[in-house]
A and B are shown apart, each in its own frame.
Chain A
Amino acid sequence: MRRGWASLAFIMFIAPAALGGVAPVIMVGCFDGQTYPVAYMANYTRELVKVAEEYVRSRYGESVYVVGVGDWSFLLDALTFPNVIGAVVALNVREGGQLYLSPLRTSQVVSSFERGLGLVGIQGLGYSPYCGRISREVFPLDANLSAAGRLSRVPVTTLRHTHEKASNHPVNAQAPDRFDAADGMLVYRKPGGEGAWWTPEEGNLTVLYVCKTVGGYSSVPSVVAYEREQGRSVTFAGLKHTDGFGKYEKDLTYYNHSLGIPAVRQIIGESLAWAVQPFAEGAGLKARMEASSAFFAENLGPLFEKMRMAEEAKARQENRVQASVLLLCGASGVAILAIAYLGFARG
């Protein structure tokens, strides 16, 4: 709670002052239907906020602010706001069907991305039955299948996928060539053969990691970087945390998410830093914040003007009443004095 108020104070007073009114913001929203007891696992959104803050602030300074969001509808609103330069969004394929994503919202997300929004999408965002166009034009996996991780009861971790580096890119330059992650589910599209994965018609797609543990296939893309017009995104096909199945009494370690693994934190952090880079520093940031200030001034100005007019009308009414009362008091006072003089004092 204290942290929440401190962050509110920061974006209300410090950041706006530094940037002439509006601060650049990165949103983090994880909609994974977390039902686990907090004692067994750290909060997923909070952990991702920490990762985002660590990498973004160390790279671009304190002026970029990271905000955790718990409301799906507001997250979709926020992605269209001009001072929101990036977001990390996790969507569970199990929960995704319950979150409404209309055609209008889909178009808005796609066009915001194309205008310059840095996005990191985890799992369900690349799953086309729930995210449709977004899974092809923003988080380009176009997945329509999902695969549970390999079951391995010895030692105790039960769901696990193995990811191997497929190409070199700023995102994975410092990352290991191979890592394992506890993973409830990985989404994919049936590949045509080794390297014959689905690719979007436009933009520049780079497969950063492939997963070797999706049953029956030698590899499917598990982490992809994508650039399209001014937007950048990194999509993680897996990394869904595993919880909410009601089995924690039997196996405490079943409840885990991959953010405890340093390699995963590093790749997510680097992904966000790369995705928001064009608008998080230098001239890009300055231009974006000037445009944001102009946007809010132009759109909110009439509301403030209306509010001012209402206050003025109220003040005018009060002044009129005060003036009338004063005039009445004065006139009646003079009349009473005159009558008193004529009736009592004179003669």
Chain B
Amino acid sequence: MARVSRRYIALVMILLVASTALTLGSRILSTPPPLDILVLEGPDSLFASVQRPRTVSIAVRAGKDLWNLEFRFRCLLEAALPAGVAGRAWSDSTLELLNLCPGVRDRLEYFSSVGARDLVAIREVPVSNRKNHKLVLVDFGELYSAIFPPEQDNESLTTFAVLMNASGYAVAYYEGYSELFAAKEYLLELARIEAGVDTREYLPLADGAGLSIERDLPPFGTVAFWNVSKGGVFGVTLVLKQRLIDVPRSIYETRVATRSFLEVVETFADGDLAKEASGYWVILNGRTEE
């Protein structure tokens, strides 16, 4: 009787140890995400006659200690589809597609020749506000930020994208800049960067001690935080202007007059792209579309 009860107890204990091990193992293997998303939103249209949301916002809470947290903003303008791109599906031929885009091809060729090909990001990502659409995104922004001076962030084209529909057809082509928003000094009403309790606000015409959108925002659209502690809240909010007022003609023609913008914010935790904390919005330009 005693032997039976001892075996019974041993069996129960073995099951207990095994189930505990399984529970602990699954918890170890399913590492918690490094970031909790608090806000991720972007507008569908801008500068339209009807009042609509005009905020681009990202905020995250660090789920663990990080040596680096970055929000990389890119703003692209719709341009004409390169020759040969329209009229066929590109689902499995991304490199062939990119080879037809002179802006991408020229840069890839050059940067490969100086051994910097690994620093170019090429990825397919979903569009946040277009169901079943995806983007082939090519970003030279990091490279440019390393090579060029900060004042060049709104001068050089650094980022390119092809918008594909559900059938894999290219329906739009974008090229743009590594900055928070195109022509930010004219189109932004407010930019706010939050790092825990430290909140900085940038205004278009800040004078004296005030922070200026044109002068003081981090260059090349990259807002970076270092040695981030677990639980810290970090974010960036951009408020776009309702109307296009006082935009010089040359800026309007080269940086604003487009059918649509593509606003990109990608979040990197310890150098890794946090896909769930990244947004890609196609934003119709009410000024040219209405």
- B155 — which chain A residues lie within 8 A by C-beta? 102, 104-105
Q: Do A310 and B10 have beta carbons less than 8 Å apart?
A: no
Q: Contact string, B1-35, partner A, CB cutoff 8 A, digits 1/0?
A: 00100110111011001101100110011010000
Selected from A1, A73, A300, the residue in CB contact (under 8 A) with B103 is A73
Q: Do B28 and A325 have beta carbons less than 8 Å apart?
A: yes
- Chain A's interface: helix, strand, loop or mixed, by majority? helix
Is B50 part of the binding interface, using a Cβ–Cβ cutoff of 8 Å? no
Selected from B24, B31, B118, the residue in CB contact (under 8 A) with A328 is B24
Q: Do A299 and B6 have beta carbons less than 8 Å apart?
A: no
Q: Do A309 and B146 have beta carbons less than 8 Å apart?
A: no
Q: Do B119 and A307 have beta carbons less than 8 Å apart?
A: yes
A65's nearest neighbour on chain B, judged by CB, is B113
- A25 CB, nearest partner CB in chain B, Å: 7
- B147 — which chain A residues lie within 8 A by C-beta? 81, 299-300
Is B115 part of the binding interface, using a Cβ–Cβ cutoff of 8 Å? yes
Q: A73-B157, A343-B11 known; A310 and B21 CB under 8 Å? A: no
Selected from A11, A21, A335, the residue in CB contact (under 8 A) with B109 is A11
- B109 — which chain A residues lie within 8 A by C-beta? 4, 7-8, 11, 67
Q: A71-B106, A299-B147, A342-B10 known; A336 and B18 CB under 8 Å? A: yes
Q: A71-B103, A313-B67 known; A16 and B119 CB under 8 Å? A: no
- A11 CB, nearest partner CB in chain B, Å: 4
- B6 CB, nearest partner CB in chain A, Å: 6
Is B209 part of the binding interface, using a Cβ–Cβ cutoff of 8 Å? no
Q: Cα distance A343–B2 when bound, in Å?
A: 11
- B10 — which chain A residues lie within 8 A by C-beta? 339-340, 342-344
Q: Do B271 and A310 have beta carbons less than 8 Å apart?
A: yes
- A32 CB, nearest partner CB in chain B, Å: 14
Is B156 part of the binding interface, using a Cβ–Cβ cutoff of 8 Å? yes
- A11 — which chain B residues lie within 8 A by C-beta? 109, 112-113
- Chain B's interface: helix, strand, loop or mixed, by majority? helix
How many residues does chain A have at the interface if contact means C-beta atoms less than 8 Å apart? 59
Q: A332-B21, A339-B14 known; A309 and B114 CB under 8 Å? A: no
Selected from B6, B67, B106, the residue in CB contact (under 8 A) with A309 is B67
Q: Contact string, A298-340, partner B, CB cutoff 8 A, digits 1/0?
A: 0110111011011101100100010011001101100110011
Q: Do B271 and A296 have beta carbons less than 8 Å apart?
A: no
- A319 CB, nearest partner CB in chain B, Å: 12
Is A100 part of the binding interface, using a Cβ–Cβ cutoff of 8 Å? yes
Q: Do B3 and A314 have beta carbons less than 8 Å apart?
A: no
- A12 CB, nearest partner CB in chain B, Å: 5
- B157 — which chain A residues lie within 8 A by C-beta? 71, 73-74
Q: Do B114 and A22 have beta carbons less than 8 Å apart?
A: yes
Q: Cα distance A65–B109 when bound, in Å?
A: 12
Q: A104-B152, A339-B10 known; A303 and B119 CB under 8 Å? A: yes
Selected from A16, A105, A307, the residue in CB contact (under 8 A) with B113 is A16
- A84 CB, nearest partner CB in chain B, Å: 9
Q: Cα distance A71–B250 when bound, in Å?
A: 19
Binding site for B on A (CB under 8 A): 1, 4, 7-8, 11-12, 15-16, 21-23, 25, 65, 67, 69-71, 73-74, 76-78, 80-81, 83, 100, 102, 104-105, 292, 296, 299-300, 302-304, 306-307, 309-311, 313-314, 317, 321, 324-325, 328-329, 331-332, 335-336, 339-340, 342-344, 347
Closest 10 CB pairs of A and B: A343-B10, A310-B271, A70-B102, A332-B21, A11-B113, A73-B157, A71-B103, A100-B254, A313-B270, A324-B28
A-B contact pairs, 27 of them (CB 8 A): A4-B105, A7-B109, A8-B109, A11-B112, A67-B106, A70-B105, A71-B107, A74-B106, A80-B148, A81-B147, A104-B155, A296-B115, A299-B147, A300-B143, A303-B119, A304-B119, A307-B118, A309-B270, A309-B271, A314-B270, A321-B29, A328-B24, A335-B17, A342-B6, A343-B6, A343-B9, A347-B3
Other A-B pairs, 16, CB within 8 Å; known A329-B25, A335-B17: A12-B113, A22-B113, A25-B110, A70-B102, A104-B151, A104-B155, A300-B114, A300-B115, A300-B119, A303-B142, A307-B119, A310-B270, A310-B271, A325-B25, A343-B10, A347-B6
